[in-house]
Amino acid sequence: MSDTFAIGELGRATDTKVETVRYYERIGLLSQPRRTSGNYRAYDRGHLNRLSFIRRSRDLGFSLDQVRALLDLADQRDRPCEAVDEIARGHLAEVERKIADLEALRDELRGMVRQCGHGSVRDCRIIEALSPGDALAAAPG
Amino acid sequence: MSDTFAIGELGRATDTKVETVRYYERIGLLSQPRRTSGNYRAYDRGHLNRLSFIRRSRDLGFSLDQVRALLDLADQRDRPCEAVDEIARGHLAEVERKIADLEALRDELRGMVRQCGHGSVRDCRIIEALSPGDALAAAPG
DNA sequence: GCTTGACCCTGTAGTTGCTACAGGGTCTAT
DNA sequence: ATAGACCCTGTAGCAACTACAGGGTCAAGC
């Protein structure tokens, strides 16, 4: 096996649909690979790493714009660190906020699932937990 | 104040944009309310409860399809609640996976910020941290 | 050397879950 | 009667894909 990959191989290696790979290229997130004589895209290991990074970041809830910023950050290894440090700190704060949000969500879901008595929907605590509280459910007066 | 609400009131009560309320109606998630003589939507407390349920579920990260399923289940009071439990469990598993991934990223960013106080970012490992394991990152042979 | 089938190409339109107009109608108050 | 806040329908836009349609390429097998 050579050092280049067709788009399908790249897709399988990164769990990305072929159309999505082309989409990333179209919006400039993934650089244009060289083409074979038959006009097929020929990717190298750099593309593979970059795409892996993109996919994982997306999975973690970063927007494409944020992924772009992260990639720039990773690319500017020669630059003095200060400008980059700020971006990194910003991302760190955001990641920490995201973790906190998800943990709160997880706790709620855990509470729901734990309380589920496996009875009928009538007694289902999950549904109950999702239903509005007193302030909205009951009319005053 | 009467027992019915205009769309704007409903929106304010549930922190939902008016356009979003109409959107939920259009896709059949919220039933059509009766109309006033002037063709204004007139919602009742049932709509308010249902919309609250939808918004809360959305807030907890359930997709509209999942919300639809939950609503259907909530309506079938005699059915066993296993299906509800399954939706919640599936969602919980997803949330837990995301937290674990974000924690890995957080640790990387923390290390980076700590390391990166002065000098260059040469040792930045964020790409590596988010890149796939050996199977993909290193070519065999 | 010709076909079959897996793969690739471009381009465009659809999806989800909203959100934002445009171009109007209604209602309440002054 | 006129201003302003609200409502109506309809359509188009957004992010981030995803799914075609209508073709071209290429290795394998007969």
Cβ(B124)–Cβ(A70) below 8 Å = no
Which of A95, A113, A120 comes nearest B102 by C-beta? A95
* Mean pLDDT, rounded, of chain A: 79
pLDDT value at residue A100: 84
Q: What percent of chain B has pLDDT over 90?
A: 35
Question: Distance between CA A82 and CA A78 in Å, rounded?
Answer: 12
Q: Chain B residues with CB inside 8 Å of A13's CB? A: 132, 136
Reduced to 3 states (helix: H, G, I; strand: E, B; else coil), residue A113 is helix
Residue A58 sits at the vertex; the CA angle it makes with A54 and A59, to the nearest 5 degrees, is 120
Secondary structure of residue A120 in the 3-state scheme: strand
Q: Is the pLDDT of residue B119 over 60?
A: no
ipTM above 0.95, yes or no: no
E-state strands within chain A: 34-35, 41-42
Nucleotide nearest to B12 (CA to C1'): D6
Rounded to whole angstroms, how far apart are CA atoms A56 and A46? 16
Which residues 32-51 on A are within 7 A of strand D at the CB atom? 36-40
Segment among A17-26, A42-51, A126-135, B72-81 with least mean pLDDT: A126-135
Nearest CA to A45 among B67, B136, B70?
B136
Please give the angle made by the CA atoms of B72, B75 and B81, to the nearest 5 degrees. 80
> Closest Cα to residue A54, out of A35, A40, A74?
A74
Q: pLDDT (tens digit, 9 = 90+) per residue, B44-60?
A: 999 999 999 899 888 87
Report the alpha-carbon distance of residue A51 to residue B66 in Å, rounded: 30
| B85 Cβ contacts chain D strand, under 7 Å | no
Q: Do the chains contact at A59 and B85, CB–CB below 8 Å?
A: no
User: Distance (Å) from CA A72 to C1' C4?
Assistant: 46
Place of tokens 């993109």: A54
How many CB atoms neighbour CB A88 within 10 A? Answer: 23
